[in-house]
Chains A and B, each alone.
Chain A
Amino acid sequence: MKKKLSFGKAFLYGILIVYAVITVIPFIWALSSSFKNLDEIVSGAINFIPKHFTFHNYKVIFVEQGLFPRWLFNSLFIATMVTLLNMFFNSMAGYALARLHFPGKRTIFVVILAVLMIPMQVTMIPNYLILKSLGWLNSYQGMIIPTMINATFIFMMRQFFVNFPKELEEAAELDGLSKIGTFFRIVLPLAKPALAAQAIFVFMGSWNDFMRPLIILSSPELFTLPIGLNTFKGQYISYWNYIMAASMVFTLPILLLYAFFSRYFIKGISFSGGK
């Protein structure tokens, strides 16, 4: 009996380890390629430790490829703005839908639920025309303003506030705080875990978004990293050492974010996946 059990355990560990290797290899291979020189890349050898370890590729993308730092800045700027605005506006909307009473509340809630079901390809083309007539194509505001709220997270925040203990708000109100004061001073600080999960996913969504910048942005100075990287690939078609170095720089901020907030990541997913 005992022996059989340990065999089962070994089998399970086998699955876990094999899959961990399958997951990690592409990243390690990319990382190692980013430190190799072109000769070694072209030779097609499958050594994971570079024979001639070099920072040259990173130097090239940051120094000689003048636009790369700009793309990094654009991505950081847009993703940060979008995240901050989302955190405020989604929470405010979610709170109003959960706690305040006003005519039309149900209709607005139903509309938000309905919008969740519409694939973005439908709204993408009209969005392009609307941004065009506003003169916002190829601009930061064209990237930021249409994504400064997110129906999914309005919904999530509403669910969060519905289950939020009412007593605290009532106490604050008795102490003479207005609804707005109560929200910003009492409710929002206590909603930190929900806000953190939201912030992470909004930031990641904006940072990794490919289709929207591809459509909206046309001048290379305004490109975000995904689009920049794609043109970069076209330009340096067989310089995989540069492309991999650029890819690694692109991935690092998200990995750092993950390292700091990993528990919220998992929580945030279970939030959206749970009942």
Chain B
Amino acid sequence: MKSRFLKRTVRESLQGYLFLLPALFVLLLFLVGPIFYAIFLSFHKVQLLGTTSFEFVALKNYMNIFDDLRAKIAVWNTAKYVLIVVPCQTLLAIILAATLNAGMKGEKFFRIIYFLPTLTSSAVLTLIFMWMYNQNGLINKVLDFIHLPTYNWINDPSIALYAIMAMNIWSTAPFYMVIYLAALQDIPESLYEAAELDGASAIQKFLYVTIPHLRPVTSFVVIMGIVGTFQLFDQSYIFSGGSGGPNNSTLTVVLLIYQYAFKNMGTMGYAAALAFSLAIIILIATLIQRKFSKEESLY
């Protein structure tokens, strides 16, 4: 009896491992292994010519970050980007979701329309916007038509990053809107009825019933937003043809990591150190955000 039971547990264990085998293979070779490999790389100078060679340089890669002017510019651009895009896209997502949830006709139709940018690849979106941002393009024509100043969106260093920001707020807000919509549908109707009995206006109901109930979701959306915006790459790569220009104005941390790892010779270890620092910054930003929103029931 006992051995039969034992046989069963052994068999189940084997089945468990069998089911996990493909996942474990990829997990170890391409995810967990590389994390340790990245730590190793960040302490070495890596030469890629012929056979890859490593030279131990201790903390030198990390120290170099502080002397690197382009790294400072990239960090500043990325920080500006995160601080402007995350609040804007979150707010826009709440407004759109609340509007869609107000029991309007054609809700489904609008939802389908709004979802289009989320489906479309960043490469295509960036090209479409570059076409519209053209000096002689649609956006300038419209601005001109309503007597607003026009800009050289792509080539003016003081504008280029804002052009990318506008595009990304436009393209990601609807994604978060869907998350908010799901959350809005879970708020009990009785709360609104009670507020109504107390004489609350529509705006008061929104501020005192809806917003507090959306706090856990907002926390999730802001964290996802922070993680996403810190990793800005595709748009600035395509926008600037890989350079981060004009005049480094669209240079982001990830674009800089890419350049050091794959475009420059002998700076792969430095790129790994930058990548690690980015991961730590994202982690810290996420922790701070969580502390602020005091929301532990997230998962």
Contacts and interface: CB of A to CB of B under 8 A. Distances in A.
B136 A44 contact: yes
Interface of B: 9, 12-20, 22-24, 26-27, 29-35, 37-38, 41, 52, 95-96, 99-100, 102, 104, 106, 110-117, 119-125, 127-129, 131-132, 134, 136-138, 141-142, 170, 174-175, 178-179, 181-183, 202, 216-217, 220-221, 227, 230-231, 233-234, 237-238, 241, 254, 257-258, 261-262, 268, 271-272, 275-276, 278-279, 282-283, 297-299
A126 B100 CA distance: 45
A35 B258 CA distance: 36
Contact of B20 (A85, A108, A270): A108
A93 B19 contact: yes
- Most interface-central of A90, A103, A207, A233 (chain B CB within 10 A): A233
A89 B20 CA distance: 8
B262 A123 contact: no
A96 B19 contact: yes
Nearest to B274: A121
A179 B41 contact: no
B131 A33 contact: yes
B17 A123 contact: no
Interface residues of A, number: 93
Given A92-B23, A130-B33, A229 B16 contact: no
A240 B111 CA distance: 30
Contacts of A25: 138
A174 interface: no
B31 A115 contact: yes
Contact of B227 (A23, A119, A123, A183): A119
Nearest to A43: B136
Given A26-B129, A275-B216, A15 B95 contact: yes
Interface residues of chain A: helix, strand, loop or mixed (majority): helix
Nearest to B105: A13
A123 B30 contact: yes
A180 B15 contact: yes
A225 B238 CA distance: 13
B113 A24 contact: yes
Contact of A29 (B128, B237, B297): B128
A122 interface: yes
A194 interface: no
Contact of A130 (B30, B35, B138): B30
A240 B131 contact: yes
